[in-house]
Structure 1
Amino acid sequence: MELVGVLRMNGGLRETSYANNSLVQRKVISMTKPIREEAITELYNSSITSINGGKLCVAELGCSSGPNALFVATEIVKTVEKICRKHGHSLPEFQIQLNDLPGNDFNSIFQSSLPSFEAELLPVLHEVGCPNQYCFVSGVPGSFYSRLFAAKTLHFVHSSYSLMWLSKVPEGLEMNNENIYMSSKSPAQVIKAYYEQFRIDFSTFLRCRSEEVVSGGRMVLTILGRKSEDASSKECCYIWELLALSLQQMVSEGVVEKEKLESFNIPQYTPSAEEVKKEVEKEGSFTISRLESSEIPWASCGPEPNNNDAGDYLTQCMRSVAEPLLVNHFGQHVIDPLFQIYAKILSQRISDEDAKFFNVTVSLTMRSE
């Protein structure tokens, strides 16, 4: 499977779009706000001569589409505005670069999200006498496992819920049978193959960013991960195990071919904090300022905490994320019945169990040359 062409969230604004089903991701971004504010404040204070009245270049990697694409950029502009107001400094120009794979729905960002972004910030910036052209937003299609930006141009890099996606499906998964991801039933070589692909990809990501981020620049990365050191633990694999269970039911009903199921694997790896730390230290370009874990219960993934609709909402969230991969492999005809089965399973498990998503957030500083 060539992931560059099929790994994307559901575009548009329809019921099953990522734009309408990314509340989980928004909640995680909000949870990590203090870490970003700390990083931006330290960046500004350490680079005051170059940023004051100059330019602040920000990259959002894996931006997807919908309201989350510019959520952090809005927050950053407001944070810097407060700092500048406090010290009586001129506000820098902001260059916001939104990155995702070429199949991402960039059009909806510029048609729907950008006007809201500008409308929210203009009143704030007019208070400090800032001209209308204070912020320049652009789309940058391409894989963040390669170079994306000119050398030494980025001051701040942010990514949330993107770096668990791998550059490709790991090799050597033939013995994973009816699993679509790692599980407690996966052979040891499958777990190893997933980890090795993550290690290669994350190291490549760090190396590419080290060429693009200025000395003293910051990165804040949040990755869907796990607390346990067991890569096949339930806390990181369960959501995919239940989707596999749904597909297995469709195999038993003759809707999906067994061979199709056995040849499908999710290109994702959910690392522990220790694994993230190990690769950062090994690559060597960045120092770790903060490394934290957080969690969000499945039951609180809906608009209202612990409501009866959490299973349905989480199903829609997963559909908005996984549908393009599933359609590419199984065909469009399986999608509706698959997620009907999945919704029933998820609702029951949320009712019976205290399942959670676990996150790893790392704040990094580019070493001085």
Structure 2
Amino acid sequence: MASFHSSNARELLVHMNGGKGERSYANNSSLQKNLMLKAKHILEETITTLDCRFSPNCMKVADLGCSVGPNTLLLISNVVSIVDTACTRLNRELPMFQFYLNDLFENDFNTTFKSLPDFYTKLLQNEENRSASCFINATPGSFYGRLFPSNSINLFHSSNSLHWLSQDPLLGCKDVASLNKGHCHIVSTSPTEVYKAYLKQYQQDLKLFLKSRSEELVPGGAMVLLFLGNQENPRITGWELISIILNEMFLEGMIEEEKLESFNIPVYEPTVEELRNVILEEGSFLIQRLEILILPWDDGMSEGTDDIKAALMAKHVRAIMEPLMSTKFGAEVITEVFVRYQKKAVHLMEVEKEKLEFATIMISMTKNA
């Protein structure tokens, strides 16, 4: 998961719940795993094209916003397996692999690295991968800026990260923030000025991201990116639901006005048109494939009643949002937020018959010659 590149304390708050406990991201990221599996065909197509054009002795791959847990290592085994298949078909030797796991400094890299001995054992037990030499490093820092030397990376991958902005988009816009009073994200009643402030921050961030990656990629290098997008039809988002709940708790006197007014969720879900415009304007990349995947909020989670599904949704969102919210609101408020989140999700499904869905943009790009 990506985000704040400024040197203030804000940077430290944007990370997923670490460790392997019940509320950890590692144990509440089945939805993200499902997304990676559904996008595997794009990764295969991108790597196969790369492998036909180049034959590096060492393939260097960076996972941007890697977070913590098994999904990080799933990417590594997928890449090794895809390259192995391509090399077999082309009658080439398997290259060595260098993987760079990137996230912000407060990310729980330790939990991932503690699982590496078992991962290496399983990787080499797979007959396809027996000849693989695989080296794994951490590269902490914000991907809204440079992370690697020029012309050094063959492939960038990022899953569920690029919708996070580098900072609160309303931070320097007191007038705009006042128009969104009582809310901490874009909601259905937000005026256009709020949308514009979020969009402007997104455009600035994405341009910086693209410029940085184009400098770091080898000529002809590629990127595969998955992130939340806008379906362009009205629907409630998980961020809006949190905003509505915090507003209710404020009106009930459970949250101080000052705390709510100084908190905005730094996430923007772009439309395909907004994304294309930034890529075209920045000019460093050519789009090879772009797909939109629409999935239910509970995709990849256990079957069961709406109440069970809603409980899993609430745990999943809490694993993402708890670190960002905890220093602002405290543990008691956060527990109450997600008790209400579960109840509201059930109400939306059963009473309002709302289709709880989210859109993911899946895009493959190559560095412009």
Q: Normalising by structure 1, what TM-score?
A: 0.92
| Counterpart in the other structure of 2:123 | 121
Q: Which deviates more, 90-99 or 258-267?
A: 258-267
Report sequence identity in percent: 40
Matched to 2:226, the amino acid is T
Measure how far apart 1:103 and its partner are: 0.5
**Aligned mates of 2:304, 2:234 — CA distance in 1:** 22
| Counterpart in the other structure of 1:219 | 223
Matched to 2:320, the amino acid is V
| 124 and 86 in structure 1: CA distance in 2 versus 1, 3 angstrom threshold | farther
Matched to 1:353, the amino acid is E
| Counterpart in the other structure of 2:5 | none
**Aligned mates of 1:136, 1:17 — CA distance in 2:** 26
| Counterpart in the other structure of 1:39 | 46
Residues 49-97 of structure 1 show CA distances to partners (whole Å, capped at 9, x for unaligned) of xx2xx01000000000011112111101001111112222111000000
Matched to 2:243, the amino acid is A
* Preserved CA contact (<8 Å) 1:287 1:364: yes
Residues 256-311 of structure 1 show CA distances to partners (whole Å, capped at 9, x for unaligned) of 11332232110010011111111111111110001111111124352338765211
**Aligned mates of 2:301, 2:129 — CA distance in 1:** 38
Residue number among 66, 85, 89 corresponding to 1:86 in the alignment: 89
| Counterpart in the other structure of 1:291 | 290
Measure how far apart 1:128 and its partner are: 6.9
Residues 153-201 of structure 1 show CA distances to partners (whole Å, capped at 9, x for unaligned) of 1001000110000000013223211111112211221111000000000
**Aligned mates of 1:18, 1:346 — CA distance in 2:** 20
| Counterpart in the other structure of 1:270 | 269
Q: Which structure 2 residues correspond to residues 144-159 of structure 1 after superposition, within 5 A?
A: 144-159=143-158
**Structure 1 alignment gaps of length 5 or more:** none
Q: Which structure 2 residues correspond to residues 54-65 of structure 1 after superposition, within 5 A?
A: 54-65=57-68
User: SS where residue 255 of structure 1 aligns?
Assistant: coil
Matched to 1:195, the amino acid is L
* Preserved CA contact (<8 Å) 1:247 1:261: yes
User: SS where residue 126 of structure 2 aligns?
Assistant: helix
What is the total number of aligned residue pairs between the two structures?
Answer: 355
| 321 and 234 in structure 1: CA distance in 2 versus 1, 3 angstrom threshold | farther
Q: Which structure 2 residues correspond to residues 200-279 of structure 1 after superposition, within 5 A?
A: 200-228=204-232, 234-235=234-235, 238-279=237-278
* Preserved CA contact (<8 Å) 1:227 1:272: yes
Find runs of 4+ consecutive structure 1 residues off by over 6 angstroms.
none
User: SS where residue 72 of structure 2 aligns?
Assistant: helix
**Structure 2 alignment gaps of length 5 or more:** 1-7
| Counterpart in the other structure of 1:30 | 37
* Preserved CA contact (<8 Å) 1:299 1:305: no
Q: Normalising by structure 2, what TM-score?
A: 0.92
Matched to 1:334, the amino acid is V
Measure how far apart 1:254 and its partner are: 2.3
Residue number among 194, 212, 217 corresponding to 2:198 in the alignment: 194
Q: Which structure 2 residues correspond to residues 347-366 of structure 1 after superposition, within 5 A?
A: 347-351=346-350, 352-366=353-367
**Aligned mates of 1:219, 1:103 — CA distance in 2:** 25
**Aligned mates of 1:343, 1:24 — CA distance in 2:** 17
* Preserved CA contact (<8 Å) 1:174 1:263: no
Measure how far apart 1:22 and its partner are: 0.6
Measure how far apart 1:331 and its partner are: 1.8
Q: Which structure 2 residues correspond to residues 126-137 of structure 1 after superposition, within 5 A?
A: 130=131, 134-137=133-136
* Preserved CA contact (<8 Å) 2:124 2:130: no
| Counterpart in the other structure of 1:98 | 101
| Counterpart in the other structure of 2:186 | 182
**Aligned mates of 1:128, 1:33 — CA distance in 2:** 18
**Aligned mates of 2:178, 2:146 — CA distance in 1:** 31
Residues 185-219 of structure 1 show CA distances to partners (whole Å, capped at 9, x for unaligned) of 11221111000000000000000001100111110
Q: Which deviates more, 37-46 or 330-339?
A: 330-339
| 265 and 129 in structure 1: CA distance in 2 versus 1, 3 angstrom threshold | closer
Is 1:6 the counterpart of 2:13? The answer is: yes
**Aligned mates of 1:286, 1:15 — CA distance in 2:** 41
User: SS where residue 141 of structure 1 aligns?
Assistant: coil
Matched to 1:243, the amino acid is I
**Aligned mates of 1:239, 1:281 — CA distance in 2:** 30
**Aligned mates of 2:320, 2:109 — CA distance in 1:** 16
Measure how far apart 1:33 and its partner are: 0.7
| Counterpart in the other structure of 1:141 | 140
| Counterpart in the other structure of 1:21 | 28
* Preserved CA contact (<8 Å) 1:9 1:322: yes
